[in-house]
Structure 1
Amino acid sequence: MFKHLLTLSFTILCFSVTGQNPIGNLDDYLQQAIDDMPGKGGNDLQKSNNSELAIWERTVNFITNNQITQARASADSIGYKVLSFTDTTMAQDETFQVLQEETPAQNHWGIYLFNPDACRDQLVLQSPHPKFDLNTGDEAVFCFKRLSAKALFLSGTHRCNHSDISPCSGTTSVCSGSDEPYRISDMAHNKETVFQRTTSILKDDASNPTFVQLHGFAKDPDDPFVIMSNGT
């Protein structure tokens, strides 16, 4: 317990001192963010309106064009911030732009990371269920850093956080134990979200984009260890 308290105190000190330019381990920072996301139930996720989506689109475009001062001003108007996070745990220090909600969070639209020096600048990774599909948030962060991908999206809540039904077709039993329509908080099954809008922005921004979502499944003894799908 004492070691954990020391670590927590150091982390708070580090980030409070550096402000918009934190320095440290991106994996640890995002793991804490995932732990802090709202869980099942609560209706914490808020729907975005057209005005907010327009501001969001400008913000993302500012980031991808490396106009960070403008991105910060734009993000601030919708309760978000842009951090230039320098990860010191890699072979060479690397700085990532982190689009994240201010605290206390109000909308829970997710966390979006961008690598301005990506080697694979057509690759975007997504974790739509970091709070539900075991370890997929951590795995997405791991892959994002080591593959030098262009961007990483983490949803902002548990997939069963909201009781409202998504317009997406299909059903699932993960939230209630019986088949029912998907919830609006399930980012893999709701196209009317900031998550999807950011996907569209980066799709239009790239010449040959590839989007990869990480999911987890319950494994039966005869099931394979890895399942790959084209998303259809």
Structure 2
Amino acid sequence: MSARNWLVTAFGLVCVAVLAVINIPDRIPKVDLVERASQFAAALQSDAPYRPPTVREGETALSGLIPLLTGGKDTQSELKTLTPLGFTLTSGIDSTSGRRFTMAATQPGDEQGWGLFIGDYGARTRQVIEVPHPNFDLNTEILGVQLYRALPGSAVLIAGAHRRAANGTADVAHNANSLFNLVATELARKGLPQVQLHGFEDSSLPGTDVVVSGGSTPHTRLHEQMADHVEAGGMAVCRAWQQSCGNLEGTTNVQGQAADSMGTVFAHIESDGSVRMDPQRRDRLVAALAAAITAGP
């Protein structure tokens, strides 16, 4: 082969390689994360079996989930770690935000119903969004994913079992041995603030749309900003540091207790059914919370 022909061939191969790299994102599947989370939540049943992880299972799961949730890119390593525990790993692009994500999820109905976890692929994690009661606090998983979309650098934790499964053992907000709590505690140990989303019936606190609380942690400027932004969005707010909010303050939630012991921020957000079932009001709540978090202290 002549030198000229060799150069032409080499140049052509380089062009093909460059085009292949450019087109890689086109081969990554696009996924509607709200739809995926909603399907996951809808499949959770109160009569399903459930057990928390053993100590060894918890340690192994953390070794795979924490890198995934904090911007890790070594998905093959995470796959090898998490698959034997019953997790399915997915990598894709969220169809609405356009951001690449990694997701690990157990199968609804399995006794190892340990959760659905979403990480921002390759991004520095700034906050943790938690949904402890999917398919009980209806549509909180929608709020969680919408908040993820509004806040780049979010890790999302969605419980993998109905809170009433196994006689309430699956209530991750009150079970310190759940994998959900182990992950939340490890992320709090890294200093990450947590936003935990709940729902209440309208009759539980008439005249209130949203409750903002620090749970068992001291209230901070962030809690005040959240309440102010939510109120500015046209919703009635109960500020737990100023008044009684009908036992909706989340002071017994173990994630808040762990955060309190570490001095990290924990925000417990309750929204009533009229907010969670109305897409426009959900959007306003998400926008308010995102604005408050983005504003910083």
- TM above 0.5, one fold? yes
2:112 is matched by which residue type in structure 1?
N
Distance of 1:59 and 1:211 partners within structure 2: 20
Task: Give the deviation of 1:106 after TM superposition.
Answer: 4.3
Report which of the two structures shows the higher radius of gyration computed on alpha carbons: 2
Change (3 A) 1:69 1:41: same
Q: Which residue, out of 41, 44, 48, partners 2:47?
A: 41
1:196 maps to which residue? Answer: 181
Which aligned pairs between 1:69-80 and structure 2 lie closer than 5 A?
69-80=76-87
Q: Which residue, out of 116, 134, 141, partners 2:121?
A: 116
Distance of 1:141 and 1:30 partners within structure 2: 8
Which aligned pairs between 1:55-66 and structure 2 lie closer than 5 A?
55-63=60-68, 64=70, 65-66=72-73
Percent of pairs identical after alignment?
A: 23
> Does 1:155 find its partner at 2:159?
yes
Task: Give the deviation of 1:47 after TM superposition.
Answer: 2.2
2:264 maps to which residue? Answer: none
Distance of 1:33 and 1:203 partners within structure 2: 25
Task: Give the deviation of 1:61 after TM superposition.
Answer: 3.4
1:14 maps to which residue? Answer: none
1:61 is matched by which residue type in structure 2?
I
Q: Which residue, out of 190, 202, 206, partners 1:219?
A: 202
Which aligned pairs between 1:115-194 and structure 2 lie closer than 5 A?
115-118=120-123, 121-163=125-167, 183-194=168-179
CA contact (8 A) 1:62 1:70 kept: no
Q: What is the TM-score of this pair, normalised by structure 1?
A: 0.73
What SS class does the counterpart of residue 209 from structure 1 fall into?
coil
1:89 is matched by which residue type in structure 2?
T
Distance of 2:188 and 2:128 partners within structure 1: 9
The higher relative CO (CA closer than 8 Å, separation ≥ 6) is in: 1
What SS class does the counterpart of residue 143 from structure 1 fall into?
helix
Task: Give the deviation of 1:148 after TM superposition.
Answer: 2.0
Distance of 1:88 and 1:222 partners within structure 2: 37
Which consecutive residues of structure 2, in runs of 5 or more, have no partner in the other structure?
1-27, 217-297
CA contact (8 A) 1:159 1:187 kept: yes
CA contact (8 A) 2:137 2:200 kept: yes
Q: What is the TM-score of this pair, normalised by structure 2?
A: 0.58
| Structure with the higher helix share, 1 or 2 | 2
Q: In angstroms, what is the RMSD of aligned CA positions?
A: 2.2
Task: Give the deviation of 1:138 after TM superposition.
Answer: 1.0
